[in-house]
Amino acid sequence: MGPQVIRLRPAPHCRTPILSYSLAIEPAQHFINWPAGPVRRTSAPASSIPEKTDRFIVTVDLVADMAVINRSTFFLEERAKE
């Protein structure tokens, strides 16, 4: 199996706070590198899977703070109310 590119990670500039994140790949013998691209996106090329395999399992555990953000809240200046 050749190298695989995995894009299952939130962007570092996302508004939702990420409390924890982990990525697990089976088979266990692999190498993960997290290079940052030109637009701050990250991808994980899983390479160096040395032996033939009959499975490729990717498990992502993510905990996010899903607080409600009211995007329509705004304030009017007094002179704009009339």
CA distances for 43 relative to 12, 22, 25, 39, 48, angstroms: 12, 13, 14, 12, 16
**Confidence tier at 64 by pLDDT (50, 70, 90):** very high
User: Per-residue pLDDT tens for 13-28?
Assistant: 788 889 999 888 888 7
Q: What's the pTM?
A: 0.61
3-state secondary structure (DSSP) of residue 78? helix
pLDDT above 70 (res 68): yes
